[in-house]
Amino acid sequence: MHNAESLARPAVAGSEPRRNALFWRLMDIRISFIPLPVYLLLLGLVAGLLLTKEIKADLPTMIAIIGLGGATCGEMGKRLPFFGKIGGAAIVSAFLPSYIVSLGWVPQDIITPVTTFTKSSNFIYLFVSAVVVGSIFTMDRNLIIKGFAKIFVPLLVGSVLALLAGIAVGMLCGLELRQVLFFVIVPVMGGGLGEGAIPLSVGYGEILGMDSGKILAQFLPIILLGNLVAIMACGALDLVGKRFPHLTGNGRLQMIELLQDATAPGVEKEKRFDSDTVNQVIAAGMCAITLYLAGVLLHALFGLPGPVCMLFIAVLLKLCNAVPQQLEAGAQVLFKFFTTCVTYPLLFANSIAVTHWSELTAAFHIGNVLTITTTVLTLVLTGLVIARKMGMFPIETAIVNGCHSGLGGTGDIAILTAANRMQLLPFAQISTRIGGAITVMGALLILANLPPV
């Protein structure tokens, strides 16, 4: 997806009959990850199904539709002037479909099945499971705990500074202290929709005696705008990393990881990347599903966030040397497949099914915009500044901190896609889920003990 070619490679002379040369050249032209002839054929078939009202929410049809939509949006965003270099593909995939739906340009016969499929299948959790397993299983076991322990320091410092800076800017813009703190800053850092906005709205409703549905409606545009700012900020960090290579580990969080890669024998690295087989990839996929179901069960039994449970089980397996090298190789192929071919379709589907354009535009009050921007940028800049003291790369640390203002799992995916750092998803999940849970619990405790207005 990120290496799509706009020009066809010349056919090797004599390798194919002359009558096939043009077709192979056309197959080398990609719309994101789809070869041009296949893209055009799929487009025609979907149009035919639409005219005959045969579009259903089944898996093959939905793969075709969201694959086409995601590939188109990704390709468009990648080619935007300036924005294409700071995460334009992720921004377009995450927000353009919602906008054209609001204009009435998308037929209801497409909106309804895509929404049904996205909400009923929960395939975002399949994505998160595959990427988390791929990331954790291919990390060095001796560096995992150090990385997870270290990330809490910039996250905590960044959260406190972002809170103070956001309050100051919000009050300068004329917002009341309670409004800017509990209804702007806390929702932005609350961990997204399911683990953040919904528990917050229910808690606020009980404490303040208000309708939780109305409170949730206020939160949604704030969260969406915060996620958009984080996408753009982290996309810009990718550019900074390319301009100043000494600031980035290119997806590695800790400096010691780069040193270890440099001293690792070349034979071992080659073996690790090339030993994958179909069976190993299938095994890694089933392992990802198993860990996801374990997270679901632990959530049902103890109320802990499922993705966080899954993440810690994966870390535990790695630390206990329970992941053989063959499974690591399969997990790496699985990781590459999902990050290359599933990211933009996932963002496209969620944009149609979940993101409502009217809710996003409702947040464009100058006070909200400045407060949200200040909060997100403070998180990011704090990670950038204190990373070196923690033995971590500034760009990667800043991106993980930025995920604290993400829209849950979908937000993390959009942010990391814009930053070209999907390897950081396990750390982003810590930032979003655990950081968000602490923010929500703290806000509810404080609000419950404040005197009524």
Reading the block at residue 132, the tokens are: 């988390």
Tell me the HSE value of 17 on the side-chain side, using a 13 A CA sphere: 2
**Once rounded to an integer, what is the mean pLDDT over residues 335-362?**
85
Top-confidence range, 4-18, 158-172, 355-369: 158-172
**Does the structure show a pLDDT above 60 at 3?**
no
pLDDT band (50, 70, 90) for residue 91: confident
In angstroms, the CA 333 to CA 262 distance is 22
Tell me what pLDDT residue 271 has: 43
Residue at a domain's end among 121, 138, 163: 121
**Once rounded to an integer, what is the mean pLDDT over residues 213-225?**
80
Mean pLDDT, all residues of the chain: 84
Residue 34 lies in a domain: yes
Q: Are residues 181 and 242 in the same domain?
A: yes
Q: Are residues 141 and 232 in the same domain?
A: yes
In angstroms, the CA 308 to CA 304 distance is 8
pLDDT band (50, 70, 90) for residue 447: confident
End-to-end CA distance of the chain: 53
Residue 305 lies in a domain: yes
User: Is residue 31 classed as helix, strand or coil in its secondary structure?
Assistant: strand
Which residues form the domain of 301?
Answer: 123-449
User: Is residue 30 classed as helix, strand or coil in its secondary structure?
Assistant: strand
Residue at a domain's end among 85, 105, 121: 121
Encoded amino acid at 1, one letter: M
Tell me what pLDDT residue 272 has: 47
pLDDT band (50, 70, 90) for residue 197: confident
Could you give phi then psi for residue 173, rounded to 5 degrees?
-85, 5
Residue at a domain's end among 121, 153, 174: 121
* DSSP string covering 407-420: -HHHHHHHHHHHHT
Non-local CB neighbours of 199 within 8 Å, separated by 6+ positions = 440
Exposed e or buried b for every residue in 102-126, given b needs 16+ CB within 10 A?
Answer: eeeebeeebeebbbebbeeeebbbb
* Mean pLDDT lowest among 92-96, 162-166, 216-220: 216-220
Only one residue has tokens 């923010």, namely 439
Reading the block at residue 87, the tokens are: 């995460």
Q: Are residues 149 and 171 in the same domain?
A: yes
The pTM of this model reads 0.76
Only one residue has tokens 């780069």, namely 258
Tell me what pLDDT residue 45 has: 96
Residue 291 lies in a domain: yes
**Once rounded to an integer, what is the mean pLDDT over residues 209-230?**
82
**Once rounded to an integer, what is the mean pLDDT over residues 54-72?**
94
Reading the block at residue 20, the tokens are: 């096939």
Q: Are residues 116 and 142 in the same domain?
A: no
Share of the chain above pLDDT 90, in %: 37
Tell me what pLDDT residue 268 has: 43
pLDDT band (50, 70, 90) for residue 261: low
CA distances to 24, 123, 127, 294, 312 from 289, in Å? 37, 11, 10, 9, 15
Residue 10 lies in a domain: no
pLDDT tens for each residue of 354-396:
878 887 787 778 999 999 999 999 999 999 999 888 888 999 9
CA distances to 66, 97, 225, 333, 351 from 358, in Å? 22, 13, 12, 39, 12
**Does the structure show a pLDDT above 80 at 336?**
yes
